[in-house]
Amino acid sequence: MINSIPRKYLFSKGVDQYFTEVYLAYKFVVRFFKEASRPPFHLREIINQCFEIGVKSLPLITLTGFIIGIVFTQQSRPSLSEFGATSWLPSLVSIAIVRALGALVTALICAGKVGSSIGAELGSMKVTEQIEAMEVSAINPFKYLVVTRVIATTITIPVLGLCCGFVALLGSYLNVHSFESTSIVSFFNNGFSTITFIDIFSSLFKSLAYGFTIGIVGCYKGYHAVKGTRGVGRAANQAVVLAMFLIFIEEVVIVQMANWIRYY
Amino acid sequence: MNEPKNKRPVIVGLFILTGIFFLIGGILIIGNLHSTFSKKISISTVFDNVNGLQPGNNIWFSGVKIGTVKKIEFFGMSQVKVIMNINNESKQYIRKDAKVKISTDGLIGNKILVIYGGTFSSPEIEEGDTLLNEKILSTEDILNTFQQNNLNVLALTKKLAAGEGTIGKLLNNDSIYYNISETIKSLQKASENAQVLLASLSNFSEKMNTKGTLANDLVTDTSVFYSLKTSVLNFQRISDSATVFVNNLKIATDNTKSPVGILLHDEQTGTDLKTTISNLKTSSEKLDKDLEALQHNFLLRRYFNKEAKKNKKQ
């Protein structure tokens, strides 16, 4: 009776695991929206997480943004000066920072800093059974740990992205001013003359998506960590890698969407 | 260390407000630059070719941005209708007979629409108006012109290489070169001669400046000049007297009753005078003979012999 032996895997172990992972992630996201829409909202914990994720990342983000502004301007100057078009530097840098660099760099840094910390934190709580202990204590661990963190990343990363963009433009201005003696008014007028509302809002939307992605991926990987302390490390690592990968995918998709809207 | 209970919410609130501030600032700057929040009117124009003009491109009037391109759509068979948003406060300066052309912001910048012209007698534009436009010179047209120029230059260089035309002959014909060379040599020689001449002139002028010489006296001595002036005046007087004399002589000769007039005009007197002269000649010859004969006379012969001897001795 060969036919009566049940198959262990539908496709193979790896493929089955992959699709299972996708299903679990989908369930995780759906559960997030369900839990996020129901009280209690744990506002104080959200504020705490905003402080930990957003405020504590601000120095790193602003410094990085400032350096990006200076370096990008400095590296773009030779190409433009070949055409005698250094007056286009403000426009070029503004487009690059507002449309892409501000949000993307912030998201990548936060994916590394915040995503790994969330993954490691929740992972260690999972493997030490603190999450189960919370359930026993009649506290919804998903709501308290996951929803608050995801909301915090979704709120703070756009704010960090705006700060990063502004500081990057300031860095660019300092570089342009030191070479071309351009005034700050002229710099921002030139820079923003080529920026449209679509650029601003697509960038804001991207930041929201990145923030949500970093939070949800970090929480998911930590929440499903297994196999002790090794699992914690793996969860932190996978949280960073997967978040960055998804960020790049989202970047491509959202840019495409923005262009459709722009030229519609 | 005790920290205030609400420290974190305050900092987070400040952090989020900072982000909102940047967002609103950005929106306001862009809104102001793009005149998003100001009233606009919509006008249009129809081009045969818009050369890559896009919605959102700027519209300039007298070098000032007054609006943006709202929409570009096909019109008729192959024309393109461009709908423009013009700021309400700028419309008073744009007249219905103003024209539109497509230009570029800088040499390689974005395409822009330029509104120009218009007369004050014409009313200002209103919502829905259609402006006339000017056919623009596209990059392709410019390149075609360059290509035509290149072909012309090629044809010219071919002719030059073949030695056709004046410049071609000049470049290719050796004899012209030699002629020019000879001419230059002659010019060089002339120049050398001129230099010699100049040296002579210099020498002459130097001598002229030497005191005591006639030339210097003529130029510088006032007494010599005075004497010369006096002489010239005397010559003038003599000339005047001669003129008067000649006039008188003419009057005298013209008068047929005066002796001179008779001599010059009366034929009979002339004939008589000729006869008298002929008679005098005959008489003179005869007298010569008589005197010759007298020399050989015995009474006077002795005296003439003595005279001959005396002359011989001397």
Q: List the pLDDT tens digit at each of the 264 positions of chain A.
A: 455 666 777 778 888 888 888 898 899 999 999 988 888 888 888 998 999 898 999 999 999 999 999 999 999 988 888 877 788 889 899 999 998 899 999 999 999 999 999 999 999 998 888 888 888 888 888 888 999 999 999 999 999 999 999 999 999 999 988 888 788 888 888 888 888 888 889 999 999 999 999 999 999 999 888 888 888 898 899 999 999 999 999 999 998 988 888 777
pLDDT tens digits, B160-187: 888 787 787 777 777 877 888 889 999 9
A170, A193, A262, best to mutate vs chain B, most B CBs in 10 Å: A193
Give chain A's radius of gyration (CA, Å).
22
Cβ–Cβ < 8 Å for B54, B48: no
Q: Which chain B residues contact residue A207 at CB under 8 A?
A: none
Going by their DSSP bridges, the two strands B64-75 and B99-104 should be labelled as unpaired
What is the ipTM for the molecules in this complex?
0.76
A192 to chain B: closest CA residue: B30
* Distances in whole angstroms, Cα of residue A210 to Cα of each of A48, A116, B251, B252: 20, 15, 136, 139
What is the pTM assigned to this prediction? 0.61
Check CB contact of B24 with chain A, cutoff 8 Å.
Answer: no
CB < 8 Å to A50, chain B:
12, 15-16
Confidence of residue B134 (pLDDT cuts 50, 70, 90): confident
Interchain contact A81–B (C-beta under 8 A): no
Asked if B75 contacts B48 with a C-beta cutoff of 8 angstroms, the reply is: no
Cβ neighbours for A33, distance < 8 A, ≥ 6 positions apart = none
Could B19 and A162 be called an inter-chain contact, meaning their C-beta atoms sit closer than 8 Å? yes
Query: Is A32 inside any structural domain?
Result: no
Q: A108 near A206, Cβ under 8 Å?
A: no
What is the domain partition of chain B in residue ranges? 37-138, 154-216, 221-278
Domain that holds residue A235: 42-80+88-263
pLDDT score of B1 more than 70? no
Q: Is A15 within the bounds of a domain?
A: no
Please say whether the beta carbons of A221 and A121 come within 8 A: no
C-alpha B193/C-alpha B186 separation (Å) is 10
Q: Which range, of A134-143, B106-115, B229-238, averages the lowest pLDDT?
A: B106-115
Q: Which residue in chain A has the smallest CA separation from B65? A: A193
Quote the pLDDT of residue B63: 86
Establish whether the linkage from the previous residue to A40 is cis, with ω within 30° of 0: yes
* CB nearest to A50's CB, from B12, B33, B34: B12
Mean of per-residue pLDDT scores for chain B: 84
Q: Give DSSP secondary structure letters for B186-217.
A: HHHHHHHHHHHHHHHHHHHHHHHHSTTSHHHH
The structural domain count of chain A equals: 1
> Using H for helix, E for strand and C for coil, what is the string for B221-257?
CHHHHHHHHHHHHHHHHHHHHHHHHHHHHHHHHHCCC
Is residue B137 pLDDT above 70, yes or no?
no
H/E run at residue B115: strand B111-116
Per DSSP (E only), the strands in A185-257 are: none
User: Between A155, A188, A204, which is nearest B23 by CB?
Assistant: A204
pLDDT for position A1? 46
d(CA B270, CA A207): 145
pLDDT score recorded for residue B107: 65
Q: Is the pLDDT of residue B57 over 50?
A: yes
Domain-located, residue A28 = no
User: What length does chain A have?
Assistant: 264
What letter would DSSP give residue B95? B
CA B139 to each of CA A82, B56, B108, B143, B151: distance values in angstroms, whole numbers, following the listed order? 22, 21, 11, 6, 18
Interface contact A48-B16, CB threshold 8 A: no
Residue B198 scores a pLDDT above 70: yes
CA-based nearest residue to B27, from A198, A123, A11, A74: A198
Inside any domain, residue A216: yes
User: Mean per-residue pLDDT for B221-225?
Assistant: 76
Measured CA to CA in angstroms, residue B236 lies from B225, B226, B241, B242, B245 at distances of 16, 15, 9, 10, 14
